[in-house]
Amino acid sequence: MKFLITRNFFKNIPKEKIEQVKDRIQYFYEEILENKKKIFNIPKGFWVKKLRENLYEFRVNSGDRILFEFKDIKRIGYGEKVLVLLLFSTHDLAVKNGIRQNKNKSLNTENLMIEKDIDNLDKSIDEDLDLVYNKINSKIVYEITSDKNLLEFIQNEDEYTYYYLNDEQYEILNSEFPLLLKGSAGSGKTTVAIRKTMELEERENLKIGYITFTKSLKEKAYEMYEKFRNLDNKKMVEFYSLDELYEKQLREKPTGLKIFEKFIYEHNPKIPKDIEILELYQEIRGTIKGSMGSKGIGNWDRNLEEELIPEEDYLALNKKYTVYSKEIRKEIYKIALVYQNWLTEKNYLDENDLARRIILR
């Protein structure tokens, strides 16, 4: 049993109807498999109805319907047509929109023959359905991989759900290393990374390190991995936060903002006007010490023996990477040089220093 579900599908199901919906979905899916060539041969209790091209609904009970479609997914592990559950509705959309049943058609697809008296959609009704369809289509995020976890998916939608990869994410998953993946919060970076670790674990006999910035992010990633990994495979992935990795590999803990504030107190450098200590720390830590760019962003040939990127590279960055003018950057870079010398004298190591040490080992 394998099909896809859109994000809002779960949210529209009242708790008292969860069991009934779950049972109907399971039963409907089994009937789909049995009646693959003629979908309308499914028992009449489902009252399958075509609303528009590749948009259908089936009956849960006298008042509730589920909208669905078939999606072509040409990937390993999928059939030519995959069932996608789009929306649970407490109203019959066909009745609500006054759709009339007065036209007989047959629809031929590669592996699906549909024969039924279907609805004659006038232009206004078609536009109404467009609004519904466009709102929910292309938002497929959940992948049901077995009938055992269907009820759990419906009852406990959470961040550890087994997400369906869209085309862009799937392409990334199959890209070769090294690979830099960038995206905003919620764009699927963790999902792709966890799926990649499981794929490597499946086909490669090698140890894999999954490293996150914080311990809480590590724990979330580990829970997702444990929930969906193939238990028949030997566990090859080790999860670390950066601090845990530094402590295990180097027996060191990185310095942070408090040590930087101590430096400011001892040296009292001339900080450019309107720049707070935290902002100065973030610029030095994240850009001057933390950037991998050399001779322009995108060049990964930075000399990791050096603690800071060259001043000329820092001054050449555009506003996508730093908001400060070149004159202010010159002042910030001077402070960064003094700060780095102070760290060395005190035998302090920040997270960038420790990261370079691990990479250079």
Highest mean pLDDT pick, 103-107, 172-176, 277-281: 277-281
Tokens, residue 49: 């109805």
- pLDDT, residue 307, reads 93
- At residue 298, the pLDDT reads 54
What would the pLDDT profile of 69-118 be if each residue is shown by its tens digit? Answer: 877 766 655 656 777 888 787 754 444 443 333 333 333 333 333 333 33
Which pLDDT score, from 0 to 100, does residue 352 have? 92
Above 80 in pLDDT, residue 321? Answer: yes
Entry pTM: 0.56
CA 301/CA 308 separation, integer angstroms = 14
Q: Which residue has the higher pLDDT, 20 or 9?
A: 20
Q: What is the 3-state secondary structure (H, E, C) of 253-321?
A: CCECHHHHHHHHHHHCCCCCCCCCHHHHHHHHHHHHCCCCCCCCCCCCCCCCCCCCCCHHHHHHCCCCC
Is 340 or 17 the better-scoring residue by pLDDT? 340
Side chain identity at residue 165, one-letter code:
L
Which of the 8 DSSP states describes residue 285?
A: I
Question: Which residues, in sequence order, are CB contacts of 301 under 8 Å at separation 6+?
Answer: 294, 295
